[in-house]
Amino acid sequence: MTNFWKQFVGWGTELKDDPFVNARFKLTLFYTIAIGLVFLITNEVLMYTRVGVIENSITTNLDPVLKTQIIHQINEGLQRMTIILYGMLTLALVGLSFIIGGRTLSPIRQIVRAQKRFIADASHELRTPLAIMKTNSEVALLDGEHITSSEAHATLQSNLEEMNRMSKIIENLLSLSYYDNRFTEIPFSAIKFSDLVTNITNKSQSLAVKKAIELQLTASQEGLVLGNPTALEQLTINLVKNAVTYTQPHGRVTIEVCDKGNHLELRVKDNGVGIAEKDLPNIFSPFYKAGESRTQEEKGSSGLGLTIVRKIVDRHKGTIEVHSKLGKGTTVLVSLPKLNPKDYPRS
């Protein structure tokens, strides 16, 4: 019984300190008072109206004293019924106000929770390379004069890799903040999307060669999109890099740009490790790790690539789909609205 009471007190204290719970109760009180005042005013108006109606309904031949008593008794009966009815309405009103308050605060609470989770994940990702660098440096200092040049070189090399990893995380965090800020204007222009994708494919060949992967642009249909060239380059680079990273040596990655009428479709397909079906709904979440098969390939990855891709697609009013089967590969489809050259004046 004592443990239950302690748990109950702890739960109550936690709720008391929760700003959303406090805000919900305040909203409930506000809604209840506001609607309650409307009921009270309405009741007063109806009461005076009711007395007038009763007086006019009762025959005027009655004794004035008797007439007053009858009106008083009828009014008292109606008043009791009104109090009972308003009591029931008040209880319903409090419950309804509590539900409305919760619904009102729910989106804000979800945003705050997402921000807290994002900050915690970002802190964790940055803390890991810092811990490795700290450990490497402490070990090197403990060895002192006995450390060999090869060991010192290995320590510096490891620290440099971790610095690069931190730099990549910070760079992606800045990119994510930039594309996620709706108040930041991104300069758009008419872009030959097929030329942009061809250029990125050529630049990515060196990355594919290192893993002995065949990287090929199999279709490149012409078309204009209205977009930011830097953002669309980053989008394409992230998708191609992901495909190469999660494809095993001697695998194949194909890229296509297809004209689908009112939009252009970028298709990046690989025959790599794939993504489990249960992980697909979460792959655009920051720092999400999708299964062991992909985690093994994620060394040096910031975990923000697909999140940034999603934000870029949203800013360009496009859509993105990911189809994947574990062990059979992944296909990413990005659709961007096509620009009619007649609608875009030449400079």
- Residue 264, domain CATH: 3.30.565.10
In this structure, the answer to whether residues 199 and 334 fall within a common structural domain is yes
Is residue 210 assigned to a domain? yes
In this structure, the answer to whether residues 195 and 326 fall within a common structural domain is yes
Last residue of a domain, one of 114, 134, 162: 114
In this structure, the answer to whether residues 206 and 64 fall within a common structural domain is no
Is residue 214 assigned to a domain? yes
* Overall domain count for the chain: 2
- What SS3 state is found at 213? coil
In this structure, the answer to whether residues 68 and 200 fall within a common structural domain is no
Beta-strand pair 252-259/263-270: antiparallel
- What SS3 state is found at 222? coil
In this structure, the answer to whether residues 211 and 338 fall within a common structural domain is yes
Gap between the Cα atoms of 122 and 113, Å rounded: 14
Last residue of a domain, one of 114, 133, 164: 114
Is residue 123 assigned to a domain? no
Is residue 140 assigned to a domain? no
Q: Which residue numbers in the chain have pLDDT < 50?
A: 8, 11, 14-15, 296, 347
pLDDT score of 341: 64
Name the residue with tokens 């697609």.
313
In this structure, the answer to whether residues 220 and 97 fall within a common structural domain is no
pLDDT in tens, 187-204: 899 999 999 999 999 999
What proportions of the chain, in percent to the nearest 5, are helix, strand and coil? 65, 15, 20
| Nearest alpha-carbon partner for 191 in 220, 225, 222 | 225
pLDDT score of 214: 93
Q: What is the DSSP string of 268-336?
A: EEE-SS---GGGGGGTTSTT---HHHHHTT-TT--S-HHHHHHHHHHHTT-EEEEEEETTTEEEEEEEE
Q: What is the pTM of this model?
A: 0.61
In this structure, the answer to whether residues 6 and 107 fall within a common structural domain is yes
Give the domain range for residue 33.
2-114
| Nearest alpha-carbon partner for 270 in 203, 196, 327, 202 | 327
pLDDT score of 225: 92
Contacting residues for 329 by C-beta, under 8 A, at least 6 apart:
247, 269, 270, 271, 272, 274
Residue type, 340: N
Is residue 308 assigned to a domain? yes
Calculate ∠ Cα 223-229-232, nearest 5°: 80
pLDDT score of 255: 95
Residue type, 240: V
pLDDT score of 74: 66
In this structure, the answer to whether residues 209 and 328 fall within a common structural domain is yes
Is residue 203 assigned to a domain? yes
In this structure, the answer to whether residues 238 and 105 fall within a common structural domain is no
pLDDT score of 213: 93
pLDDT score of 347: 46
344: left (phi over 0), alpha (psi -120 to 50) or beta: beta
In this structure, the answer to whether residues 103 and 220 fall within a common structural domain is no
The answer to whether 283 touches 275, Cβ cutoff 8 Å, is yes
Last residue of a domain, one of 83, 114, 145: 114
